[in-house]
Amino acid sequence: MVAQSHPGRKFVPAQFDVADWAQIEPLCTQLLEASIASPAELEAWLGRASELSSVVDEYGSRRYIDKSCHTDDTKIEQAFMHFVENIEPKLKPFYFELQKKYLASPHRSGLSDKRYAILTRKWQADVDVFRPENIPLETQITKLVTEYDKICGAMLVEFKGKQYTMQQLARFNEETDRTVREESFQVAAARRMQDKDKIETIFEQLLPLRQTIAANAGCDNYRTFMWKSLKRFDYTPDDCHKFADAIEKSIVPLVRELDRQRKSDMGLEKLRPWDLAVDPKNRPPLRPFAEADVDGLVTRTRQIFERMSPTLATDFETLRSNKNLDLESRKGKQPGGYQCCLEECGQPFIFMNAAGLQRDVETLLHEGGHAFHFLAAAANEPLTFLRSAPMEFCEVASMSMEALGSDHYDLIYDDPALAARAKRTYFEGVIRFFPWMATIDQFQHWIYTHPGHSAQERTSAWLATLERFSSIVDWTGYEQVRAASWQRQLHLFHVPFYYVEYGIAQIGALQLWMKAKEDTQRAIANYRSALKLGGTRPLPELFSAAGLRFDFSIQTIEPLIRAVGEELASLPA
């Protein structure tokens, strides 16, 4: 990352050490003790609070990025943990008091801009669930989640004389030699099972902490707490159950049909876990770029954005020029991928583990969408508190780039047949994602509405949920691996209940994809207009600004899935 100067600061000193609480506390005190005599003064006060928040937030984000990129560096971990243990816990009560000061201000009614109504609703929700006694519990949770990351980041395997990360080993899932696929699956499964009990223990420690947090906040269970904490104003747990029912009814049968066709194409009696990523026609795996050629991936992805919209390409180029990309998979790097917002400088950072797979192309398009969202919001909204849209719409920003980008895979693959294969792979992945999303979401509903459950009861609930949404894959001999497969989903550890957003957003992204088939430029223009709104509008209005319906009932889902089915039918198998 490029070192940052701070020319825009008006409240926070240019030379300011966020790692030193003695420098932060006086600024917090100034804000709390400030006299506010008019709506204009309240707006100015919010600006100062936003500036301090952005400085501290960016510092914490940079420590998290460093930790993600170097899980084996003790000094980096210490810097991150210092922030988590000694800065964040002290800031939270101040932020709570700042929110209360704003909410209690008689001048709030004089703020005419309707975006302040959104801020009021968000901050009221925060105040409703904040409890000082939860701060040390949240710190304990962060420590446990960091330990989970370290365990996952340290997972290395020896395979055919070479050492691989788990992400790198995934390449062998696409090999045409079935024996190689099975052997790589066995190696990966054995390695994960080595740490199964450690990860189970971490989760066992997380649950009572989360339940206590909910009880302290006066909530009957952690789900209720998270609904308030995540500010889910526009849908309920019952809506999520109905969403899952719709997926079970309209999408699971399509996945099972796809797998029956796969089994037939491959001439297999039984479809096994290592048969799902390989090309069913036994063609060589899709290799969009050499594993070491991450620069090539970036260049071609930029070309996709250029074809969609020159503005998108310009935005994407800022990540490369600012060195805000860390994309290759390597030892000591946290698994997964994310886009991180650097609030003060207004720049995004993309982290992922590229291994030369088609999925890497989709991931970079996805995280690029998040980056576009942040750049648009940061350029148009001065208050950091109002830049972040609800996550259900943030994921529309990212998933839409995957969907629209699939029409331009000819820029990734020189051979049109390979581009068509990649597009088919993408849309099959969209279909297959919904049942997995529902599995994770419904499993979380069970976990947090059954406090005090045993590990065995949790495993039984996981298997029952899997069975409801799973296909025809035969796991014989790997029952224990399947029973522990939830441990791979980092959201269960990092961000409980944050997964249904992906499903809701995919419904939005598919709507945008259909509109782009009719008028691409208009669809992109609506998309960008909605991104600029940041978090200044309610969720349904953000969808509407992008020309989409905020609805995930079966009435909306079925025509979208039908359109995806027609797209698949138009592509060569």
* pLDDT tops 80 at residue 374: yes
221 within some domain: no
Q: Identify any residues that bridge with 349 across adjacent strands, giving them in sequence order.
A: 340
Q: Pseudo-torsion of CA 57, 61, 62, 66, nearest 10°?
A: 150
The DSSP string of 379-411 is HH---GGGTPPPHHHHHHHHHHHHHHHGGGGGG
Determine contact, residues 58/345, Cβ cutoff 8 Å. yes
C-beta contacts of 32-38 below 8 A and 24+ residues apart:
32/94, 32/97, 32/98, 32/101, 36/105, 36/107, 37/107, 38/107, 38/110
55 within some domain: no
- CA distance linking residue 505 with residue 395, whole number of Å: 5
319 within some domain: no
* pLDDT tops 60 at residue 2: no
431 within some domain: yes
Amino acid identity for residue 66 in this structure: D
Q: What is the reported pLDDT for 1?
A: 60
The dihedral through the CA atoms of 223, 227, 228, 229 has a sign that is positive
For 240-265, write each residue's pLDDT tens digit.
999 999 999 999 999 999 999 999 99
Q: What is the reported pLDDT for 5?
A: 63
* pLDDT tops 90 at residue 8: no
- End-to-end, the C-alpha distance of the chain in Å comes to 42
Indicate the DSSP class of residue 293.
-
Percentage above 90 pLDDT, the chain: 93
Cα–Cα distances in Å, from 284 out to 150, 176, 418? 34, 6, 10
Q: What is the reported pLDDT for 113?
A: 83
Residue 296 has, within 13 A of its CA and on its CB side, a CA count of 13
Determine contact, residues 89/141, Cβ cutoff 8 Å. no
- CA distance linking residue 403 with residue 157, whole number of Å: 34
Q: What is the reported pLDDT for 285?
A: 86
Determine contact, residues 410/560, Cβ cutoff 8 Å. no
- CA distance linking residue 123 with residue 125, whole number of Å: 5
The DSSP string of 509-546 is HHHHHHHHHH-HHHHHHHHHHHHHTTTSS-HHHHHHHT
When pLDDT is averaged across residues 29-57 and rounded to a whole number, the result is 98
Q: What is the reported pLDDT for 147?
A: 96
191 within some domain: no
Q: What is the reported pLDDT for 509?
A: 98
- CA distance linking residue 227 with residue 232, whole number of Å: 5
302 within some domain: no
* pLDDT tops 60 at residue 3: no
- How many domains are contained in the chain? 1
- CA distance linking residue 381 with residue 533, whole number of Å: 8
The dihedral through the CA atoms of 294, 299, 302, 308 has a sign that is negative
For 139-196, write each residue's pLDDT tens digit.
999 999 999 999 998 999 999 999 999 988 998 999 999 999 999 999 999 999 999 9
Q: How confident is the model at residue 310 (pLDDT cuts 50, 70, 90)?
A: very high
pTM: 0.89
For 435-493, write each residue's pLDDT tens digit.
999 999 999 999 999 999 999 999 999 999 999 999 999 999 999 999 999 999 999 99
Q: The domain that contains 571 carries what CATH number?
A: 1.10.1370.30
Across all residues in the chain, what is the average pLDDT?
Answer: 95
For 14-39, write each residue's pLDDT tens digit.
999 999 999 999 999 999 999 999 99
The DSSP string of 55-98 is HHHHHHHHHHHHHHH-TT-HHHHHHHHHIIIIIHHHHHHHHHHH
**Helix 74-82, helix 39-69: angle, nearest 10:** 160
Residue found by looking up tokens 């030892």 in the block: 331
Q: Identify any residues that bridge with 157 across adjacent strands, giving them in sequence order.
A: 164
**Phi-psi category of 477—alpha, beta or left, where left has phi over 0 and alpha has psi -120 to 50?**
left
540 within some domain: yes
Residue found by looking up tokens 């159950």 in the block: 241
Residue 329 has, within 13 A of its CA and on its CB side, a CA count of 24
Tokens for 365, please give them: 């398009």
Residue 270's domain comprises: 232-297+389-573
When pLDDT is averaged across residues 2-25 and rounded to a whole number, the result is 87
Please, which residues have CB within 8 angstroms of residue 135's CB and are 6 or more apart in sequence?
Answer: 89, 92, 93
* pLDDT tops 90 at residue 336: no
Cα–Cα distances in Å, from 465 out to 252, 351, 476? 13, 31, 18
Greatest CA separation for the chain: 77
Residue found by looking up tokens 């210092």 in the block: 82
When pLDDT is averaged across residues 366-383 and rounded to a whole number, the result is 97
223 within some domain: no
Please, which residues have CB within 8 angstroms of residue 502's CB and are 6 or more apart in sequence?
Answer: 395, 399, 433, 437
Q: What is the reported pLDDT for 441?
A: 98
Q: Identify any residues that bridge with 338 across adjacent strands, giving them in sequence order.
A: 351
CB atoms within 10 A of CB 142: 17
- CA distance linking residue 502 with residue 393, whole number of Å: 9
When pLDDT is averaged across residues 542-555 and rounded to a whole number, the result is 97
The dihedral through the CA atoms of 291, 148, 367, 505 has a sign that is positive
CB atoms within 10 A of CB 70: 19
Q: Looking at 43-47, 80-84, 286-290, 541-545, which range is the least confident one?
A: 286-290
Q: What is the reported pLDDT for 573?
A: 78
Q: How confident is the model at residue 79 (pLDDT cuts 50, 70, 90)?
A: very high
